[in-house]
Amino acid sequence: MTVRTRIAPSPTGAPHIGTAYIALFNRVFAKHHGGQFILRIEDTDQVRSTAESEQAILTALRWLGLDWDEGPDVGGAHGPYRQSERSALYQDHAMQLVTSGHAYPCFCSAERLATLRRQQEENQERIGYDGHCADIAAAEAARRVAAGEAHVIRLRTPCEGICSIQDRFRGEIEIGWETVDDQILIKGDGFPTYHLANVVDDHLMEITHVIRGEEWIPSAPKHLLLYEAFGWEAPELAHLPLLRNPDKSKLSKRKNPTGILYYRQAGFLPEAICNYLGQMAYRPEGDLEIFDMETMVAGFDLGRVSLGGPVFDIEKLRALNGHYIRQLSAGDLLGRLRHWLLHDESLLGLVGMAQPRLEQLADFVPMTAYMFADQVSLDAAAIDQAGTASGKAAEWIQFVQWEFERLASWDAEGIRGCLQRVATCEEVKFKKFLGVFFRVCSGRAAALPLFESLAWLGRDMTLRRLQYGQDVLREAGVGLSKKALKRLEKSYRERYVEEGGKDG
């Protein structure tokens, strides 16, 4: 048997450090066995998936050295590797399950489901589908589908008994079927959900081992049921422990930078990141702490994977990164610096912004120094002052953070659009509003043109600086409390976000 593993990211945002961690273990395991590592793009959520996010994922993983044998850009014998190009396959497979009785069309309206949910909440019952359409006779259901009645396709799930999952790291995991919903397989818009597409693809792409994060354990019963319904052998499952913040909560961008491209922009070395991500759940023979990917591949053993909640501590990563930097020869280090941000393309961007402001060439380095920094030094009073001391700076920054996260294409025009939108919604003069962002992103009162410089910094570094601004405001007692953040999130959703589909 050839070992085949995969990483299956959804292109719905900045490439996440957690994706790199899972990709690393999948790649190392496949390579150790002389097998193949596949990249599959799970873009079944048509509303949230973007081409830019997909491109960023490819760039980020490749930068880390986590390259793949088959994928949307390199091709392979099991393509296409983008789920949006495989729609007909999922339709066919869902129809097979309807014919065999393992799945059924469900005609329940959104209103009925909302009422059901409300009742379940009121009665403190388990929230889930009540099987209303499960018993409609097949011929009757087929007639309604043929007549064009709106419907989804649901998986018929047992109401009782135990689902036993064999996990390579955890042994047997038992989940009661009564906790598992009749999962939607095909949505009203005809697109598959994560569960169906994931299982069909893992089978057709001949994936032998699914190594993924522990947050997917509750999905395993649905997947095993699907394999059984299709009459397919399921791949081996192995769920890695989730990365955590130093306070042990789930790794989150509010407490830790999570964007891989932030780490690139901040000058972390790919080999240090891979080493650190490897350490999160693994030590090679001899309990080594410093090891490269080749060492990991050579001796990899699933039995040595540890499950204790791994803490991703950026200070420890920084120390490890320093170690790797010190190992480089001066010539290599210079090469790294050039590759980092001192190459022509990056410098040309800065030169263009600086030129109208330069009187001497010697002004260039001090004028642009903050663009190369990780954190800029910030002062809460100056940020607040820039926002005309309204005490609103933290709220404005937060709205802009959310807008920036959702911006489909990261360029000066899009950035300006986000800032303008929030200024208008918050009824602030644009110039005053921008003052806050000049401050937070540069640490200075006067700086290079804002929209272009944020485009140059990249989305992840910009978000990092805004988050740092939040931290500084909070420490000074003028930031957002947890409660205020919750309230703001609600207000943001109501005022800025149109309803969109959501899916794993």
Positions that interact with ligand GLU (CB under 6 A): 8-10, 42, 194, 198, 212, 216, 504
Residue type, 152: V
CB of 46 to ligand GLU, least distance (A): 14
85 contacts: CB under 8 Å, gap ≥ 6: none
CA 453 to chain centre: 25
Q: Terminal CA-to-CA distance of the chain, rounded, Å? A: 30
| Cβ–Cβ under 8 Å, residues 55 and 9 | no
CB of 198 to ligand GLU, least distance (A): 5
- CB 457: neighbour CB atoms within 10 A? 22
Radius of gyration of the chain, Cα coordinates, nearest whole angstrom: 25
CB of 9 to ligand GLU, least distance (A): 5
Q: Which is nearer to ligand GLU, 25 or 194 (CB)?
A: 194
CB of 83 to ligand GLU, least distance (A): 9
Q: Which is nearer to ligand GLU, 38 or 272 (CB)?
A: 38
CB of 271 to ligand GLU, least distance (A): 24
Q: Which is nearer to ligand GLU, 58 or 380 (CB)?
A: 58
Q: Which is nearer to ligand GLU, 128 or 504 (CB)?
A: 504
Angle between helices 482-496 and 412-425 (to 10 degrees): 100
- Residue 469 CB burial class (10 angstroms; 0-12, 13-18, ≥19): buried
From 461, 460, 489, select the one nearest 16 (Cα to Cα).
Answer: 460
- Beginning with the edge strand found earlier in the chain, give each strand of the sheet holding 162-167 in spatial order: 171-176, 162-167, 236-240, 209-213
Q: Which of 187, 253, 429, 490 is catalytic?
A: 253
Residue type, 258: T
Structure tokens at 116: 């059901």
Specify whether 253 is catalytic: yes
Structure tokens at 177: 């079927």
471: left (phi over 0), alpha (psi -120 to 50) or beta: alpha
CB of 129 to ligand GLU, least distance (A): 22
DSSP state of 49: -
Element spanning 453, H or E: helix 450-457
Give the HSE-up count for residue 215: Cα atoms under 13 Å, Cβ half-sphere: 9
Catalytic residue numbers read 253
